[in-house]
DNA sequence: CAGTTGACGGCCC
DNA sequence: GGGGCCGCCAACT
């Protein structure tokens, strides 16, 4: 059943390495940008972290989720750095690393 | 079935 | 320019 959750999972899992997406962007791609909260909820469920790189999903501020503690938020930032995403002050340059339409529809 | 929550976004003060 | 409040939709209890 392709619920909004599944759709969001699909999109997030499609984020290329070295790129990030905002909740609003994922929501917009999912169908409605107002689903930002739903996106957060979906990622909160996160049935499969290996399939859903939630660490590539950041909020509008470009900052990672504070509730994203699977071993330390610093660990998440380190992951992004390892992927080539420059994290400054626990924040990402959305203008530079924001995923546009690399994979296209 | 109805109420509340929730990893957010945008607008207003 | 910064901080705070309200709104949105779906999922969960």
**Per-residue pLDDT tens digits for A33-92:** 999 999 999 998 888 888 999 999 999 989 888 766 655 667 888 889 999 999 988 889
Residues of A annotated catalytic, as ranges: 54
Ordered structural domains, chain A, with CATH: 4-91 (1.10.10.10)
Positions in chain C where some atom is under 7 Å from a protein CB: 7-12
Residue A69, pLDDT score: 60
Strand C proximal residues, A:46-105, Cβ < 7 Å:
none
Give the pairing of strands A87-88 and A91-92.
antiparallel
Contact criterion met (CB below 8 Å) for A59 and A23: yes
DSSP state of A47: S
- This prediction's pTM: 0.89
Q: How many CB atoms lie within 10 A of CB A94?
A: 18
CA of A11, C1' of B7: distance in angstroms: 16
Residue A105, pLDDT score: 53
Contact, A44 CB vs strand C, < 7 Å: no
**Per-residue pLDDT tens digits for A83-97:** 999 998 888 999 899
Give, in order, the Cα–Cα distances in Å from A81 to each of A29, A39, A56, A71, A84. Answer: 25, 23, 11, 16, 5
Alpha-helical (H) ranges within chain A are 4-13, 23-30, 36-45, 73-83, 94-97
Predicted confidence (pLDDT) at residue A26 exceeds the cutoff of 70: yes
CA of A48, C1' of B13: distance in angstroms: 42
């Amino acid at each position: 059943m392709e619920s909004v959750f599944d759709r969001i999972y699909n999109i997030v899992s499609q984020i290329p390495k070295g790129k990030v997406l905002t909740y609003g962007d994922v929501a917009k791609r999912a169908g409605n940008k107002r689903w930002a909260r739903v996106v957060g909820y979906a990622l909160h469920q996160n049935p499969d972290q290996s399939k859903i790189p939630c660490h590539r999903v950041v909020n509008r501020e470009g900052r990672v989720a504070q509730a994203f503690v699977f071993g330390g938020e610093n660990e998440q930032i380190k992951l992004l750095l390892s992927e080539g995403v420059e994290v400054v002050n626990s924040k990402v340059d959305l203008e530079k690393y924001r995923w546009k339409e690399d994979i296209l529809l």
